[in-house]
Amino acid sequence: MRQVTAAVIVEDGQMLLVRRAPSESLAGYWELPGGKLEDGESLESCLERELSEELAMGSAVGEALARTIYHYEHGSFEMVALRTQRLTGFELSVHDRFIWASSDDIADLQLAPADVDLIDQLLTLGHWR
């Protein structure tokens, strides 16, 4: 089973979410930024690499906050959400939009299916602060 990392970046009570661009699979869906673990990579180094590649963002990655398993038609993934501190600004390259979302905003966003349970866990566990 492939592992996928997801950054939990919270600033001023709002969490960073990005929207998949029209040219990507799941176009238009909102998700936590992150990506797939490569062979020999730790969860932390994977997420730092993905944030650098996709958002040109420097980051400091901390502990795992939530985990879920999601089954797509093309395979199953274990999603791991990690507490992440943004160290630099960022720019979009793979995504077409970003939002700093409050916990109230989530109900109005079309979340990527794999992110729904993960974000519900983060809300339930109080990691939105």
Residue 51 lies in a domain: yes
The 10s digit of each residue's pLDDT in 41-59 is 999 999 999 999 999 999 9
Residue 112 lies in a domain: yes
Task: State how far the Cα of 86 lies from the Cα of 60, in Å rounded to an integer.
Answer: 7
Residue 24: strand pairing partners: none
Residue 129 lies in a domain: no
Instruction: List the end-to-end C-alpha distance of the chain, in Å, as a whole number.
Output: 31
Q: Which two tokens stand for residue 51?
A: 């944030």
Residue 27 sits in which domain range? Answer: 2-124
Residue 69 lies in a domain: yes
Instruction: Print burial letters for 105-114: b (CB count within 10 Å at least 16), e (below 16).
Output: ebeebebbeb
Residue 77 lies in a domain: yes
pLDDT for the residue 126: 87
Residue 13 lies in a domain: yes
Res 89 pLDDT > 90: yes
The count of structural domains within the chain is: 1
Non-local CB neighbours of 82 within 8 Å, separated by 6+ positions: 5, 6, 7, 8, 43, 44, 47, 61, 62, 63, 64, 65
Q: What pTM value is reported for the model?
A: 0.94
The 10s digit of each residue's pLDDT in 6-41 is 999 999 999 999 999 998 888 999 999 999 999 999
Task: State how far the Cα of 17 lies from the Cα of 48, in Å rounded to an integer.
Answer: 16
Write the CATH number for 71.
Answer: 3.90.79.10
Residue 45 lies in a domain: yes
